[in-house]
């Protein structure tokens, strides 16, 4: 099975690791055979042509060429989600299975438009944070969770998805409103869910593991992520391209993007409640 990468620029961490991981996880059944990017690396890295030579992928001159030749498509650009709607425009009308890398969209409206395009054309697609697939979350009893505190690395734009996605997954409820506090190198986002339960996420400027403290009806538990969650994610990605079964509902991804959007607004207005 030949997969194609659609990117902002190819020489970035996800695009540099996914080809070998996909090949290994699929037992050689899948390989990244084609690639197209909007631009060469703006950071002095490999050009698109150099990246393709290194990873044994054929460069495509247009998205149309890549879509025609590929059996499945990955829209990457993990650190520039504002480009996803543009990068997805053709792929999500192709009918071929697509995966859109984290963070899916910069806001709720964009997320809804992207999924609408896929749904109208019958194109299977999904998006996720790799943290969703951490082994430690599989053992969490989701019934009876009353509240949760999560902390992780600083950088709301890039890293908040890795806390917000597991939180919404475990709480199984859309958020209602958020309030932020922050100092240089640290932020706290308080979240009230539609059913009245509360949670928070914090980002720490000097680094932090991904840890969650869960309070439940039968006690509390600390969950620290130490497993190889990217390995589990890649296995899920391989299974998706084999079966075309979507592992994350579109509605849940939209709810996560809406929460992330509200949190970003709240960080600009510390101490105020912001509706989701």
Q: Residue 139: its pLDDT value, please? A: 86
pLDDT of 191 over the 90 cut: yes
Domains for the chain: give ranges and CATH numbers: 2-127 (3.40.50.720), 132-227+260-275 (3.30.360.10)
- What's the sign of the alpha-carbon dihedral 31, 36, 38, 41? positive
pLDDT of 142 over the 90 cut: no
Q: Which residues are bridge partners to 220 per DSSP?
A: 215
Q: Residue 34: its pLDDT value, please? A: 98
- What's the sign of the alpha-carbon dihedral 127, 34, 71, 1? negative
pLDDT of 112 over the 90 cut: yes
Element (H, E) at 222: strand 219-224
Q: What is the mean pLDDT of the chain?
A: 97
Residue 190 contacts residue 179 (beta carbons within 8 Å): yes
Residue 3 contacts residue 31 (beta carbons within 8 Å): yes
Q: Measured at the alpha carbon of residue 36, what is the angle toward residues 35 and 37, in degrees to the nearest 5?
A: 130
Of 36, 156, 148, 18, which is closest to residue 91 (Cα–Cα)?
36
250 vs 242: CA distance, rounded Å: 19
The residue-averaged pLDDT of 160-167 equals: 98
In a 10 Å sphere around its CB, with 0-12 CB exposed, 13-18 middle and 19+ buried, how is residue 234 labelled? buried
Confidence of residue 31 (pLDDT cuts 50, 70, 90): very high
- % of the chain residues with pLDDT over 70: 100
pTM: 0.96
């Amino acid at each position: 099975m030949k997969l194609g990468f659609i990117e902002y620029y190819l020489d970035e961490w996800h695009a540099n690791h996914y080809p070998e991981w996909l090949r290994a996880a699929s037992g050689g059944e899948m390989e990244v055979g084609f690639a197209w990017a909007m631009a060469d690396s703006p950071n002095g890295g490999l050009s698109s042509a150099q990246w393709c030579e290194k990873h044994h992928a054929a460069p495509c001159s247009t998205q149309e060429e890549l879509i025609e030749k590929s059996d499945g498509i990955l829209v990457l650009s993990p650190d520039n989600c504002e480009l996803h709607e543009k990068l997805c425009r053709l792929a999500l009308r192709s009918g071929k299975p697509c995966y859109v890398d984290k963070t899916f969209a910069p806001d709720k409206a964009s997320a809804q438009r992207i999924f609408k395009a896929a749904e109208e054309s019958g194109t299977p697609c999904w998006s996720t944070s790799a943290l969703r697939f951490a082994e430690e979350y599989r053992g969490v009893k989701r019934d009876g969770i009353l509240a949760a505190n999560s902390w992780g690395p600083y950088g709301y734009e890039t890293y908040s998805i890795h806390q917000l996605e597991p939180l919404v997954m475990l709480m199984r409820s859309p958020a209602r409103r958020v309030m932020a506090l922050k100092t240089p190198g640290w932020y706290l986002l308080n979240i009230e869910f539609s059913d009245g339960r509360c949670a928070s996420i914090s980002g720490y400027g000097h680094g932090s593991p991904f840890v969650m403290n869960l309070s439940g009806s039968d006690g509390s538990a600390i969950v620290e992520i130490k497993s190889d969650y990217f390995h589990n994610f890649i296995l899920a990605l391989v299974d998706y391209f084999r079966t075309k079964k979507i592992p994350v509902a579109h509605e849940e991804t939209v709810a996560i993007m809406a929460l992330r959007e509200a949190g970003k607004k709240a960080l600009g207005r510390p101490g105020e409640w912001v509706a989701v």
